[in-house]
Amino acid sequence: MNTEHVLKDALAAEAELVDVPEDPWSGFRRRERHHRVKRRSGMAAVALALAAAGGVQGGLVPLPGWAPGIAVAGFNPVLAEGATRGSLAGDEAFLEGVRARIQDVEDPGETWRVADRGAIRFVYAADVGDQRLVLALVPLRYGFLQDRALIWYVGDAGAPPAALVESGRVDGGETVVTYAVARSDGPGVLVVVAPTGSEVAVSTGFRYTPEGSVEHEPATVEPGDGLAERTLPPVPLSPEMTITVTAGPDTLYRGGAGFGWSGSSGGDPQEASEATVAAALGARTFDRATLRQWVSGAIRDARLSAAGTKVAVRWTGVVDGQPAALFTLRPRGGGVLAYAYHGTADSYRQDLRLLLPVRGADTRPIAWRLRAEGRDDRTDQVVVTGPAGAARLTLQVGEAAPTSVAVDESGAATTSVPPFAPALVTAYGADGSVLGSTPVPPFETDSGGLPGDGPETRVGG
């Protein structure tokens, strides 16, 4: 057995289990939740103890302005360094109007008050497309606690300060902040604010290639000033973008933009139709509402449109005592995406997402690893399925000799493979010929990106 690869996989898996902060760039809502839970709650016990002395923490007694507060966390607000950026940076009257209009921040059960209006720092202010955007670093106070947040204020292009509304906020110590809105019926906006002197590269769009890879559009680079501003054309779906911010040899950020997207009232373009699900099932017996929910979820996960995406059910059966299915999506232009789910329409788990080359996709066996039911713990359980016409399946673990896999009446088997061991499943025809071979994918460590963008979700390197 290749012990080097086994050890590498094991170390990678152990690293995943380390308790690290969640990625702050998955979207404004998750960042706000992270902001509240990770930074504020850590000081709650201290604050409440102090509050008992005078009822200050709950807001019953005002805290005098001269009274020192407890900083939730120490950090260097790098985006507030240097001058304000953007086309409205020199409009002092406008910015002073915004300063006067900034409201206290309402969190569930908490009101974080603007601590010192004179200390508000404007990081960015501009009209971009049809929107007016202001990014401010706002000092906040909740009883004895002090904090700072980077807050977006948004309105129509040319809007006065009174017409701006809060539109998302992140931790005041973040190094890169994005604002992105796309629409199906009008232009959208993307703004990336990074430290002055950094380089921002933005790649818009991607495709799944027939060879089974993800091809991103070439990036447009905004050098030097740490700022990217652009209007976006109308799009039928929320666009997939990759933003990379570098400072010399260091990568400060690589990820998406946390888009807000609005579409017309003509229905969800990523919702699979009843007809699509019925055609995909064919003569199989399976709950259509459940399958429709799963297929629609897979289409959204793959950032595809339901129109033009072909769906085929490869297998249906039972996993952990619950209904399960394996199906493929074939978008226009190439690539085949395999997805496996188990559960119900309202409570289910995505067990597999795997990008395959078009050639030989229908004759490949496909297998996937299982996590513990209701938890994220890895198990040694692997579901193995064969293609139509397969007379025999074998499973090879590491460099050991292949062993035959006995499938049940549904055409699948659940077998055992060590969680970190590489494995290969092979299907044979009735004449003994090899129909296809597919590696058993390792467990995913980050399911936020596109399927096929990482080695865990594609066949090959």
Q: Encode pLDDT of 407-427 as tens digits.
A: 999 999 999 999 999 999 999
pLDDT of residue 177: 95
pLDDT in tens, 64-117: 444 444 555 445 678 988 899 999 999 999 999 999 999 999 888 889 999 899
Please tell me whether residues 215 and 136 are part of one structural domain.
Answer: no
Out of 266, 291, 323, pick the residue that ends a domain.
Answer: 266
pLDDT above 50 for 250: yes
Q: Which two tokens stand for residue 12?
A: 């990678």
More confident residue, 185 or 435: 435
Q: How far is CA 346 from CA 286, 292, 312, in A?
A: 15, 11, 22
With pLDDT > 90 as the criterion, what percentage of the chain qualifies? 67
Please tell me whether residues 133 and 182 are part of one structural domain.
Answer: no
Give the total number of structural domains in the chain: 3
The length of the chain, given as a count of residues: 461
**How much is the pTM?**
0.75
Out of 239, 266, 293, pick the residue that ends a domain.
Answer: 266
Q: How many CB atoms lie within 10 A of CB 289?
A: 12
Q: Does residue 5 lie in a domain region?
A: no
Out of 266, 296, 316, pick the residue that ends a domain.
Answer: 266
pLDDT above 90 for 292: yes
Please tell me whether residues 183 and 311 are part of one structural domain.
Answer: no
Q: Does residue 4 lie in a domain region?
A: no
| Residue 148 identity (one-letter amino acid) | R
The mean pLDDT value for 231-255 works out to: 90
Q: Does residue 2 lie in a domain region?
A: no
Q: ∠ CA(404), CA(422), CA(400), 5° rounding?
A: 50
Mean pLDDT estimate for the chain: 85
pLDDT of residue 66: 42
Please tell me whether residues 94 and 192 are part of one structural domain.
Answer: no
pLDDT above 50 for 130: yes
pLDDT above 80 for 446: no
Q: Does residue 13 lie in a domain region?
A: no
Beta bridge partners of 325: 316, 341
Q: Does residue 125 lie in a domain region?
A: yes
Please tell me whether residues 83 and 47 are part of one structural domain.
Answer: yes
pLDDT of residue 382: 97
The mean pLDDT value for 214-221 works out to: 92
pLDDT above 90 for 12: no
Q: Which two tokens stand for residue 380?
A: 């040694």
Please tell me whether residues 31 and 155 are part of one structural domain.
Answer: yes
Please tell me whether residues 83 and 225 are part of one structural domain.
Answer: no
Please tell me whether residues 81 and 166 are part of one structural domain.
Answer: yes
pLDDT of residue 148: 92
Q: How many CB atoms lie within 10 A of CB 53?
A: 10
Q: What does the DSSP 8-state code read for residue 458?
A: B
Query: 61-65, 344-348, 448-452 — which one is most confidently predicted on average?
Result: 344-348
pLDDT above 80 for 140: yes
Cβ atoms of residues 335 and 210 within 8 Å: yes
Q: What does the DSSP 8-state code read for residue 99?
A: H
Residue 250 belongs to domain spanning: 175-266
Strand 177-183 to 260-262 pairing: parallel
Least confident residue range of 2-6, 123-127, 264-268: 2-6
d(CA 81, CA 147): 17
Please tell me whether residues 278 and 251 are part of one structural domain.
Answer: no
Please tell me whether residues 44 and 187 are part of one structural domain.
Answer: no
Q: Does residue 414 lie in a domain region?
A: yes
Q: Which two tokens stand for residue 112?
A: 């974080």
Cβ atoms of residues 436 and 363 within 8 Å: yes
Task: Assign residue 187 the CATH number of its domain.
Answer: 2.60.40.730
Please tell me whether residues 161 and 189 are part of one structural domain.
Answer: no
Q: Does residue 7 lie in a domain region?
A: no
The mean pLDDT value for 213-226 works out to: 89
Q: How many CB atoms lie within 10 A of CB 325?
A: 25
Neighbouring residues of 253: CB distance < 8 A, sequence distance ≥ 6:
25, 175, 176, 194, 243, 244, 245
14 — pLDDT class (breaks 50, 70, 90): very low
The mean pLDDT value for 177-203 works out to: 93
More confident residue, 276 or 11: 276
The mean pLDDT value for 164-181 works out to: 93
Please tell me whether residues 282 and 384 are part of one structural domain.
Answer: yes
CA atoms within 13 Å, Cβ hemisphere of 359 = 4
